[in-house]
Amino acid sequence: MLLSYLTVKSYGEHEINIQRSRFITYIDRATTEDEAQLFIEKIKKKHWDANHNCSAYLIGENDEVQKANDDGEPSGTAGVPILEVLKKRGLKDTVVVVTRYFGGIKLGAGGLIRAYGGATSEGLNAVGIVERKLMQVMHTTIDYHWLGKVENELRQSPYILKEINYLEQVEVQAYVEKQQTDQFTDWMTNLTSGQASIVTGKVQYLENPVAGTFSDAEN
């Protein structure tokens, strides 16, 4: 599992108009090629009357699956520009369909490349990007008289407070970066003078929004 990676926040759609043509961008996560293909087919059925439903997807920890489809546009002017934007953003497990309703003005090869790249870029800006970081959930059990100190120090630390369970003793759960679990254990042990019981819990990804937007040139 990757320690961290970027992907889209969620499903979303965004429309722009270029030279009277409508470009509607649909974006979602896809962790398998089957998921990506199902998403593409869903959009194609929705817009069966469109001139083109061009698509691309990028899947796998090492981008093992990369596909692009021009769907009738001149070769290399639609699917590839969509895919290139995903690659330049460093995104993983992402599928994009750009639906085009032709407005009567031909854009030429260069214009199409800019249009599909720009539609993808603007769509990603609208939907949002997140960083998924692999975190270890650490369970710390302490007597109640330690709670104030532990909670206060935890909130000011680089670790993330997940929840507090008030049982016979207090259980404090925290998100810790996978490579920092030993450091956390030492820190908590020193903080409680060795009176805490610290247990390693499950591993899960924690998502945080990535600030910033990009242009169609992806500078």
- Work out the mean pLDDT of the chain and round it to a whole number: 95
Q: Which residue do the tokens 């869903």 mark?
A: 42
Nearest to 41 by CA among 103, 100, 95: 95
pLDDT tens-place string over residues 104-130: 999 999 999 999 999 999 999 999 999
CA atoms within 13 A on the CB side of 170: 17
The answer for residues whose C-beta is within 8 angstroms of residue 7's C-beta and 6 or more apart is 29, 91, 92, 93, 94, 129, 130, 132
Distance between CA atoms of 53 and 204, rounded to whole angstroms?
Answer: 35
Tokens of 71: 């769907």
User: What are the distances in angstroms from CA 81 to CA 5, 68, 74, 76?
Assistant: 22, 9, 12, 7
Q: Give me the pLDDT at residue 138, please.
A: 98
Residue 80 · residue 68 · CB < 8 Å = yes
pLDDT at 217 over 90: no
pLDDT at 143 over 80: yes
Q: Percent of the chain having pLDDT more than 70?
A: 96
Q: Give me the pLDDT at residue 21, please.
A: 97
pLDDT tens-place string over residues 75-87: 999 999 999 999 9
pLDDT at 1 over 90: no
Average pLDDT for residues 46-57, to the nearest whole number?
98
Tokens of 160: 């993330």
Average pLDDT for residues 142-161, to the nearest whole number?
97
Tokens of 188: 């908590």
Q: Give me the pLDDT at residue 211, please.
A: 81
User: What are the distances in angstroms from CA 215 to CA 72, 89, 93?
Assistant: 26, 11, 21
Q: Which residue do the tokens 């956390």 mark?
A: 184
Is residue 215 very low, low, confident or very high in pLDDT (cuts 50, 70, 90)? Answer: low
Taking CA 19 as the corner, what is the angle to CA 18 and CA 23, rounded to the nearest 5 degrees?
A: 35
